[in-house]
Chains A and B, each alone.
Chain A
Amino acid sequence: MKSLRILPWILAGVLIGLGWLLPGWSRFLLTLALARGLVVLGVALLMQAGLVSFGQGLFFAAGAYAVGFAMKYGGVRDAFLATALGALAGLGIAALTGLLLARYRGIFFAMLTLAFSMILYGILLKAYTITGGTDGLRIAPPAFLGHVLPEEHAGIGQYLYTLACAGVFLYLVFRYLESPLGYAVRAVRDNEVRVEYLGLSVSRVLYLTYLLVGVMSGVGGALSALSIGHIVPELAYWTTSGEFVFVALLGGTGSVFAPFIGSALFEFIRTYAYKYAPYTWQMLLGFIMLAIVLFMPGGIWSLSTSIPRRVFGWRWFWKPEA
């Protein structure tokens, strides 16, 4: 299985290479997919614990607006600092809302996260003197350690930076899932009461997971704000969060890579759907999601085991050994 160990590096090499090969528009889509993939990774992580968050837009918008405020009021242009601020905003909000949310499961968790994100949406909309209301805020192209990249290199710089951030969090989540805490998260989904009988605090496990998810989604928001260059309150709207849930389901929770694959697929589907089916785009999403729920609960990732099993009659996993 040693060869599998270098697979992530090959993947990283291919993705870096793609930065030069792809035309600008699809590189931009891939950048967005990576940034939003971080949020989706958070949703998928919570799904591992059996929780659906319909309010991931809360962190996404918080991260984006942290960047926006820092730029508008603090004159911050550095990409690293902006990302750190996004992470901090996500962490702060997760630390606060997590206190309440760690007590709830299932439907209550889903709808409470939704309510929190709608509160932020309301604030962003109404406090227009600070947030710009529905017009949103403009975000200038970021600087990397004091250098603003020239226009022709800005896209690729943005892409590589997003890729690097995504890689860092991907590794973190991977390690997290291999840690005792990560195993506890999955145990909670299987049987919460038994986990408590084992002497673990379920709410503590979920709270810590929620913090990680908050940071990740905040960074995702900051990164997508930097690459899009414009932020609006709709980032916190619950249909944005619904999209994240959709993508998490599309990719599946079978691997840490699945959210990013789902995310990339989603960005490209969306681009074409806007072009060819602008009025039935949501309906299309709905039908795909329904089909996944009914027939393929493991998402696209489950194909990586189910197709070879059907063809060759053996199980094939791609899961680097711990």
Chain B
Amino acid sequence: METLVIILIDGLVYASWLFLIAVGLTLIYGVLRILNLAHGSLYALGAYAAASLVIRYFDRGLWPPGSYFLMLGAAVAVGLLAGPFIERGLLRRIYNRDPVYQLLATYSLFLILEDFIKLVWGVNPYFAYKPAWLLGQVWLGGIPYPAYSVLLIGVALLAGGGLWFFIRRTRTGRLVVAMIYDPEISMALGVNVPRLSLLTFTLGAILAALGGAFTAPTLSVAPGISVEVIVLAFAVVVIGGLGSPEGSAIGALLVGLVRALMVHQRPELELFAIYLVMALVLLIRPQGLFAREEVRRV
């Protein structure tokens, strides 16, 4: 019973982390039709920015809970800086290219950012664990659990809720959905595509950086953290259906729970199980759980 509770919570924590990254990836794909292989690097940028700032913040001995706002600020700043820069500087030039070349262009971006991070922050790991220590532990059904992880679930819920409100209740958000649903008709009806692309990419970048910033206290921020993220986020997005924000939430939950189950029961099969779930979903619904089937054109 206790193991079950732990697996559930672990799964939820992992899922909220995955959701923050995957939802940006899926939104960007939905509007821009580009799979951003550099998305993991945005996550890493967020993590590095937050970790290095938090370490300095605590060295100064400032008000400890302020570090959470600092992490939030770091993520937003990274997203606002990197997002428009990448969208305007690179992606805008490749919108009309073959998907294969778009993929290769974002892959090059990934390689560049990877070394950029090393140049700026060096190769030594950053340990910004203090924000996680501050909260101590909570007791969940008689089991001690780090409270910070529960905070992570809260952050993901807030971000998800905010996103839902944006997409369903605001005019711009509805335009985003329209673009995902049918780009041709939306363009014909006069949607400002360049503006919407810029907005969506920046939003996705902020979300990825947020995921990085808030997980930074729970891990050692070191080179290479961006690599695994993109592969996992892609699995999530494929399970949910490319371009579907709701799908990425379900996909994140599924992958999160499967991973937690495997980590506790059969750790050697962890990676294998996640891809097995993905392969199974693809066998049954090749377009993913929530996406519509694309019409083939002659």
Contact = CB atoms under 8 A, between A and B. Distances in A.
A293 B279 contact: no
11 contacts: A107-B35, A116-B275, A193-B296, A238-B231, A245-B107, A279-B118, A282-B115, A283-B115, A289-B111, A293-B94, A293-B104
The residue among B35, B90, B100, B242 with the most chain A CB atoms within 10 A of its own CB is: B100
A285 B111 contact: yes
B271 A287 contact: no
Contacts of B227: 238-239
Contacts of A112: 282
A114 B231 contact: yes
Contacts of B286: 103-104, 108
Contacts of A106: 99-100
B271 A290 contact: no
Contacts of B114: 282-283, 286
A116 B286 CA distance: 16
Interface residues on B, range: 35 or more
B262 to A, nearest CB: 11
A107 B279 contact: no
A115 interface: yes
B275 A119 contact: yes
B85 interface: no
B215 to A, nearest CB: 20
Interface of B is mostly: helix
A242 interface: yes
Given A116-B275, A286-B115, 14 more contacts: A47-B100, A50-B98, A107-B103, A114-B234, A192-B296, A238-B231, A242-B107, A280-B115, A282-B114, A283-B119, A286-B111, A287-B112, A290-B112, A294-B105
A118 interface: yes
B283 A100 contact: yes
A115 B275 contact: yes
Contacts of B105: 289-290, 293-294
B2 interface: no
A191 interface: yes
The residue among B93, B99, B297 with the most chain A CB atoms within 10 A of its own CB is: B99
Contacts of A110: 35, 100, 103
Given A52-B100, A238-B227, A280-B119, A286 B112 contact: yes
Interface string B174-213: 0000000000000000000000000000000000000000
